[in-house]
Structure 1
Amino acid sequence: MPKKLLILTGGGDCPGLNAVIRGVAKRARVEKDWVVYGSVEAFNGVLKEPQNIVEITNSVAAGIHVRGGTILKTTNKDNPIKFPVRQEDGTTRFEDRSDELVRRLKELEFDAVINIGGDGSQRISKVLYEKGVNIIGVPKTIDNDLCATDMTFGFQTAVQIATDSFDKLVTTAESHHRVMIMEVMGRDAGWIALHTAIAGGAEICLIPEIPYDINIVTKRIAERYNQGKGFANIVIAEGAHALASSLTSAAGDKGSEHVRLGGVAYELSRQLKAAGCPADIRETVLGHVQRGGSPIAFDRVLATLFGVKAFEMAAKNEFGRMVAFKNNEVTSVTLDEATQEYNGVNKDSYLVKAAKGLNICFGD
């Protein structure tokens, strides 16, 4: 009797998810004694009535590595450990449905589960593993904020999209002698902003890990104009904030644990004007553009390798671990290692020092 493997994609979508699904399915097909299934909308496919679980056949997986998003859909609202339940009075109460989830997975007789997701998803993986689920994690996030892996798929595509956009803003900034502020994703980690600033040649890069002094930023812009350049380009991560200032945020969607960030580009614009910056300022917020579209070749390769490795780990009963990319090798780490700390930008890292050596201002 063939063994059964379940794949699911949780958290925010990102380019490369489908390449992982295809990598698992194609590698499993070589062994011939495995059948691969997918749970639609992360663990919701298992928890819903009726259940929404599909078989990943040859025709389903064919050619999906070039597609953005995920054919299995995803959600960042329905954490099975803290599951939102709507009450009669309109409020939301959170319940732990992990035991129910474990029971259902056993009833469905899955021999292995592959959970593709970011930090939150892998914390769920850890809890389920401790409750007896044969689970393996695959790291996914455009923010590149998972520790224990040098790179997450989706990140390079997001940086490429941001860089392409930044390049276009440079020419219009120069044409109109403007300051252009481009806001990119990065709730707590400034990796996208930092890489984009270096790749695009930004004058200023503002990230969550280095709170900025608006007076220093204003001074840098003035110096730029005084040198006869006549324009300046700024990259700012959505979670960046000034010294002694809180993040620009709004309440999250109902059923979501996350606060929705956004609008920091406009906040920075207001701060610059209040500080006396005389330049004409324009703001651009990339938002979910960074999550969409076809993954670049690097992310297709990395995601596919992750999928192959995840299946091979399942076949060898190497559960309670997460696939990782370390020192240019695809390997694995324990779920404890994968979730023990957050992978933010170290302000003392060579990457930041190199950026400062290029005269990029961080507002510090």
Structure 2
Amino acid sequence: MKTKPPRKIGILTSGGDSPGINAAIRGIGKAVAGHFNLQLIGFHDGFSGMAHNLVMPLEGEALSGILTTGGTILGTNRDKPYSAEEEGQTVDYTERILQVYRQHNLDGLICLGGGNTQESAYYLLQKGLNVITLPVTIDNDIPQTDMTVGFNTAMEIAAEAIDRLHSTAFSHHRIIIVEVMGRETGWLTLGAGIAGGADVILIPEIPYDIHKVAEAILERSRRGKRFSLVAVAEGAIAKETLQFFEHARQANRRLRSGNEAEAVEAGLQEIEKRSAGDTLHLANRLQEFTRLQTRVTILGYLQRGGAPSAFDRVLATQLGTACAHLVSQGHYGVMVGIQGGSVKPIPLAQVAGKVKRVPLDHSWVQGARLVGTCLGD
């Protein structure tokens, strides 16, 4: 009697790298091989790598020693199935991805990544592929899950950076601004700012008044505090900037209609995004208003690098093994999230194209206010 060959599952990582990706790959790989008689193959470099059939076997030694390593052994990029860069041109990889899926006789495809990855996976689901995802991003901005893989590590790194800058700020009697990643959401900045004891925390969800920020810093000086630490998300934006663009939109609506108005609106949105997160401009204005020396530290990719925290290793393993179990049951079309400590399969339709922003009444926001942190409003 012939043994039935194992079903075959593909896996890829897409978007920005994040601590804990390899732990998730390991959790999935060990579970499918050891308990569910599934064969796992990886695709290098995200959706474009799958389109080019860049395959990596994920067996035995490939999964050894990766629990504690940062980055992703599969490689990644930000290409989407329907919008990718190839030799300077925008191309649609959809048909090529479908062809590779069929060529390898895949029963399913696991996609690890952030918001764009969830959206891309949902797109492929609608094209007929069996797709399942894990929420992996340092931004913690994926809805329907309490925590994303990588967020805890990045928050610890950013908090430690703020800790270390205290001594320099104190020694030189300066304002030191720490720019933390987060273009659309402030989870990382808010968490790191609270943990690091930042005096001012500025996040995209709460447009700031530069005068109120300056006054909060001057009030500290009057109380004998000769330094201040400001944690700012890269997407934080000033109220006056928002007001400027709102006036521009109103003028656009008065002067134009139809496609012309839509085109101008799209241009305004792009310029507004670029106007947000101008940390150097913020520093110059604070120095002007307070007459205190102001310096900027931009953490950048430092937050995404290095070994994942113990929390992220556990979370990645928990989600990865649960993903393997769902795949073994043929349960697709979902993101494997965590809610109240329990793993939940969330329909991708409830996740794709959505962003989890910091609620203004969130306990972290309330806690920051109660300990005297200025949030810019």
- The question of a shared fold, defined as TM-score above 0.5 by the shorter chain, is answered with yes
* Partner residue, 1:73: 75
Structure 2 Cα separation of the partners of residues 277 and 355 of structure 1: 23
| 1:1-364 map, 5 Å | 1-31=5-35, 33-48=37-52, 51-76=53-78, 78-86=79-87, 92-245=88-241, 264-274=278-288, 276-339=289-352, 341-364=354-377
1:99, distance to aligned residue in structure 2 (A): 2.8
Query: SS of 1:110's equivalent?
Result: coil
TM-score (norm 1): 0.91
Select between 104-113 and 338-347 the one with higher mean Cα deviation: 338-347
Q: Which runs of 5+ in 1 are unaligned?
A: 87-91, 247-258
Measure, in 2, the Cα distance between the counterparts of 1:224 and 1:185: 26
Root mean square deviation of aligned Cα:
1.6
How far residue 2 of structure 1 moved from its aligned partner, in angstroms, is 1.5
* Amino acid in structure 1 at the alignment position of 2:149: F
**Secondary structure, in 3 states, of the residue corresponding to 1:137?**
strand
1:159 and 1:192 in contact (8 A); partners too: yes
2:233/2:277 contact within 8 Å kept: no
Indicate how the Cα distance of structure 1 residues 270 and 209 shifts in structure 2: closer, same or farther if over 3 A, else same: same
Residue 160 of structure 1 deviates from its aligned partner by: 0.3
Distance 1:262 1:14 in 2: 24
Aligned AA for 1:65? L
Name the amino acid aligned to 1:55. Answer: P
Distance change >3 Å, CA 32–CA 331, structure 1 → 2 = closer
1:353 counterpart SS class: helix
Q: Which amino acid aligns with 1:72?
A: L
CA shift, 1:33, in A, is 2.5
Question: Aligned partner of 1:36: which letter?
Answer: L
What are the Cα deviations for residues 47-72 of structure 1, in whole angstroms up to 9, with x where unaligned?
12xx3101111101012010000000
Identify if the C-alpha distance between structure 1 residues 243 and 260 changes in structure 2 by more than 3 Å, giving closer, same or farther: closer
**SS of the counterpart of 2:239?**
coil
Shift of 1:84: 2.5
Q: 1:350 to 1:359 in 2, by over 3 A?
A: same
Q: CA deviation at 1:93?
A: 4.3
Displacement of 1:201 in angstroms is 1.1
Report the Cα offset of residue 263 of structure 1: 6.5
Residue deviations 1:70-103 (CA, integer Å, cap 9, x gap): 0000001x211112244xxxxx543332133112
Bigger drift between 134-143 and 346-355 goes to 346-355
Q: Which secondary structure state, in structure 2, belongs to the residue aligned with residue 215 of structure 1?
A: helix
In the TM superposition, what is the alpha-carbon distance from 1:164 to its structure 2 partner?
0.7
Structure possessing the higher radius of gyration over alpha carbons: 2
Percent identical? 39
Match of 1:36, SS state, is strand
Give the letter aligned to residue 326 of structure 1.
Q
Deviation for aligned residue 1:349:
1.8
Partner of 1:252: none
1:209 partner SS: coil
Deviates more, 1:112-121 or 1:32-41: 32-41
Corresponding residue of 2:262: none
Cα pair 1:321 1:332 within 8 Å, conserved: yes
Alignment partner, residue 256 of structure 1: none
Report the more deviating stretch, 152-161 or 343-352.
343-352
Structure with higher helix content = 2
- Count matched residues: 343
* Per-residue Cα deviation, 1:300-356 (whole angstroms, up to 9, x for no partner): 000011110111111101110010000111121000112253101111222211111
Q: Distance in 1 between matches of 2:80 and 2:310?
A: 31
Instruction: Work out the CA distance in 2 between the residues paired with 1:131 and 1:263.
Output: 37
Q: CA deviation at 1:131?
A: 1.1
TM-score by length of 2: 0.88
Q: Structure 2 stretches of 5 or more lacking a match?
A: 243-272
**Distance in 2, Cα, partners of 1:217 & 1:282:** 16
